[in-house]
Structure 1
Amino acid sequence: MLLGIQHYSYVMRPIPRIIVAGTHSGCGKTTLASGLMAALTARGLAVQPFKVGPDFIDPTHHSAICGRTSRNLDLFMMGEAGVRETFVRASAGADVAVVEGVMGLYDGLEGSDTASTAHVAKVLDAPVLLVVDAGGASRSVHAMVRGYAGFDPAVRVVGVVFNRVGSPRHRAMIEATESIPAYGWVPRRKDLAVGSRHLGLEMAAETGALAGFGAVAEETCDLPGILDLARSAPPLPAPPEVPKQPEAVARIGVARDAAFCFYYADNLDRLARAGADLVFFSPMTDRLPEVDALYLGGGYPELHGEALAASRCREDVRRAVDGGMPVYAECGGLIYLTEWLATPDGDYPMAGVLPAATVMTDRIQALGYVEARAVGGAPVLAPGSGFRGHEFHYSRLDCAPDARFALELLRGRGIDGGRDGLVAQNAVGQYTHAYFTAGFAEGLVQAAAAYRRA
């Protein structure tokens, strides 16, 4: 027997899975992925949904359709091991996993493969169902399909769904030449549409239109064939078991309503595993609950300025910060902590915690991945620690001259040209939507526990 060598055995778990990818943004992959989820769920299957990339909005539709929390799979923020672990854990108990891709199949970070849908397909060894917009073309679509299927031999494009097929004759013209097997022929549908605004589609709580595509998928797609494709995926190694949930050491209030609705499910899970009892509340309608810290996520405070200004919760938050409570806020939460919010519809007083005013703009101010390093000044961000995330906003902050920042950005814009994490007492607000590391979550919970003891 050799000493000093550990041997690990992994349990291989069969997980039927399919990635719904598109040739480009706008080809119909969101509606097709959602329709597939809805149709399979209607057949009585437990469908676990996923979304490639940092998007917050599509997962709300997935979760509403499937009755299971949709998870993000983002290789830039999570790494390959993190993507595999989240995928396998979340798929436990599901009959099939459906992953909606992002942008075009091969569109990754700065023109590379990194964090693309194709990259996720390779990490998960998952078959790909390609959505192709057939509008305005017939035989030419096969040149496109063959190009996508052969571009990277490590990506298994096993089938195609043709979207926006104009008529039976149009379908017959496409069928005359076969490239890879077709598993769906979806006609143009102008009666089913989801509204959008500056940050993307409407949230699931505002519209159920995407669920309506379930009937379309049932009628126009080969669901048994797609399930066979999903079941052809090889087993994946199961991650180590999650330690038993610890006894809660602190209560963390989480703002969750129409104004604050952007959260990564993994972040909330990590806080709970670190010992947080999560208390959800609405800053628009509720008073601040009895908690030891606050987590204010992103969302649409600019659409609810009047309600947020009228609620006494903003005064509760200001008093809590004055009393030393740790507060961590992202994007929409950052806006809420500033002194004023200026919108085209009017100006509204906010919580008045951070020394800045927010101005909504008609142009996008930042969009892309962020890599951040903490430089001190906020108890929830340990100096020297780092994390990755994403920023996307149509606002800017006018900060006081003596404003202090807790984050230096190695990538991204933040609040002030590479600085993010505006600090006041034990509160920090940033434009970056962070994907929490275990250490990040533990830091927030420990800060809350210290406040509780004090």
Structure 2
Amino acid sequence: MKALCISATASNQGKTILTTALLYHYKKSVRPFKIGPDFIDPLFHEKVCDTKSVNLDTCIMNKNQVKWMFNKYSNKNISILEGVMGFYDGMDKGSSAYDVSKLLDIPTVVILDASGSYTTLSAIIKGLKEYREGNTVKAVVFNHVSSQMHFELIRKQVEKDFDDIVILGWIKSKLDSLDSIHLGLDLGDNDKEKLEEISKEVLTNIDLKKLENIASSNYETNDIYPFEKIEKYNKHIAVVNDDNFAFLYHDNLEFLNEHFSKVTIVNSIKDEIIPNDCDIVFICGGYIETQKAYDKFKNSNNFKNSLVNHAKTKAVYGECAGLILLGRKVDDKEMLNLLSLDFELTNRPNRLGYYDNDLGITGHAFHYTKIITDVKGEYTLYKKKNEYEIYAAFKKEKVFGTYLHTMFRNNFSKIKIYFNL
């Protein structure tokens, strides 16, 4: 099996453009992965190559669990992992590109911004290689290169300084194919047609044979299931998942399919209803608090009524945007009034990053809303125990909502009570 990690020295250095080009080029035979808890990049990966992207997170899961996840989903000819921020960023949480690539023994390609530089790039490579032992930095690609001559200056210096770094090539400055496209979740059909042009332009000066030669993973597989065994429930669960409620870890959906007798996806924007025979509703995170998102949803009365009727006697579990939907309102936007909570949308994040809760779960939270109702909740979220512990989960009868994004496979025994199981 072939595998590569794509990393950089920081955000906005070219990870996304290189990852996009490679995912499109190998689209018939690639499995994308995202290091860390982010939802946005995996959704974009899927749009590029039509294959679900899987999160690998050594903060939320332990090492054996992440190994199992990688093994389970590496079912294509090549796996491409996109890193988070810079190569070593996240080490304090044990969840950097360095940590994950080292754990899985996956070679890392570092993309370096070469604008206005050449010799100094060698110093950066030296620092990356020597900062921690066991790192997997094996190759480099140079971004924002002004000309072939510029690249040759860089290449000669790097080859002089290193005999164990493969120079895969370079990406020129100001790519013509990017002039009229924004790489993001709003990638439309017309823009998707340009992905081939972008991929070809990005990869023009990159040696794919060299790249394929270094793409390997030699980690040892283990058939032992490193999670608590969960029973199979003879229950029907509906998952509210659409452009407004888009934040769904792929493995969470796989987990539900493995452990429930029936799973139905419900699109609130299309005004689909919660099935009458459904036992549980899970509402994914995403966007509902912005005016653009709310406008897509506000007239979905069949969906709203069906969810309210379901909640009278049956369980509902909502994450982040799902929590907000269950409340009374966000500013002047009316929600479903299933939980006595009012929210306001602020211009800065109220939570960002990894959090622990009182149930012993580590998860991720990132939201710009805050609760303005003075009400005691089910549990608090905190980065450090006894500091800034604020309630972030709320329950009324069988309706439950939380700001915490949770990976189900290693936490379900702790949260199943909120699924009324």
TM-score > 0.5, shorter chain as reference:
yes
Contact 2:377–2:391 (Cα < 8 Å) also in 1? yes
The yes-or-no answer on 1:127 pairing with 2:114 is no
Q: Secondary structure at the match of 2:372?
A: strand
TM-score, normalization by structure 2: 0.88
The correspondence for 1:192, drawn from 158, 165, 178, is 178
Alpha-carbon distance change, 242 to 234 in structure 1, aligned in 2, over 3 angstroms? closer
Q: How many Å separate the matches in 2 of 1:83 and 1:205?
A: 33
Gapped regions of structure 1 (runs ≥ 5): 1-14, 375-385
- The equivalent residue for 2:52 is 69
Letter in 2 for 1:163: N
Alpha-carbon distance change, 439 to 365 in structure 1, aligned in 2, over 3 angstroms? closer
Letter in 1 for 2:366: F
- The equivalent residue for 1:314 is 304
- The equivalent residue for 1:16 is 2
- Structure-to-structure mapping, 1:239-254, within 5 angstroms: 239-240=223-224, 249-254=234-239
- The equivalent residue for 1:391 is 365
- The equivalent residue for 1:341 is 330
Q: CA deviation at 1:283?
A: 1.7
Q: CA deviation at 1:435?
A: 1.5
Gapped regions of structure 2 (runs ≥ 5): none
Give every structure 1 segment of 4 or more consecutive aligned residues whose post-TM-superposition deviation is greater than 3 Å.
193-196, 203-213, 240-248, 441-448
Q: CA deviation at 1:20?
A: 0.7
- The equivalent residue for 2:147 is 167
- The equivalent residue for 2:273 is 287
Q: How many Å separate the matches in 1 of 2:142 and 2:235?
A: 51
Letter in 1 for 2:393: G
Contact 2:10–2:85 (Cα < 8 Å) also in 1? yes
- The equivalent residue for 1:5 is none
The yes-or-no answer on 1:26 pairing with 2:12 is yes
Q: CA deviation at 1:356?
A: 1.2
- Structure-to-structure mapping, 1:381-420, within 5 angstroms: 386-399=360-373, 401=374, 403-411=375-383, 417-420=389-392
The yes-or-no answer on 1:367 pairing with 2:367 is no
Q: How many Å separate the matches in 2 of 1:242 and 1:446?
A: 23
The correspondence for 1:57, drawn from 36, 40, 46, is 40
Alpha-carbon distance change, 223 to 362 in structure 1, aligned in 2, over 3 angstroms? same
Q: CA deviation at 1:169?
A: 2.5
Alpha-carbon distance change, 96 to 388 in structure 1, aligned in 2, over 3 angstroms? same
Letter in 2 for 1:373: D
Q: How many Å separate the matches in 2 of 1:387 and 1:216?
A: 44
Q: Secondary structure at the match of 2:325?
A: helix
Contact 1:245–1:275 (Cα < 8 Å) also in 2? no
Q: CA deviation at 1:204?
A: 5.4
What is the aligned length?
A: 404
Moved more, 149-158 or 436-445: 436-445
- Percent identical: 27
- The equivalent residue for 1:40 is 26
Q: CA deviation at 1:315?
A: 2.7
Give the aligned CA root-mean-square deviation in angstroms.
2.7
Alpha-carbon distance change, 276 to 102 in structure 1, aligned in 2, over 3 angstroms? farther
Q: How many Å separate the matches in 2 of 1:337 and 1:288?
A: 15
The yes-or-no answer on 1:350 pairing with 2:322 is no
The correspondence for 1:430, drawn from 402, 408, 411, is 402
The yes-or-no answer on 1:98 pairing with 2:80 is yes
Q: How many Å separate the matches in 2 of 1:293 and 1:362?
A: 34
Q: Secondary structure at the match of 1:76?
A: coil
Contact 2:380–2:389 (Cα < 8 Å) also in 1? no
Q: How many Å separate the matches in 2 of 1:341 and 1:286?
A: 23
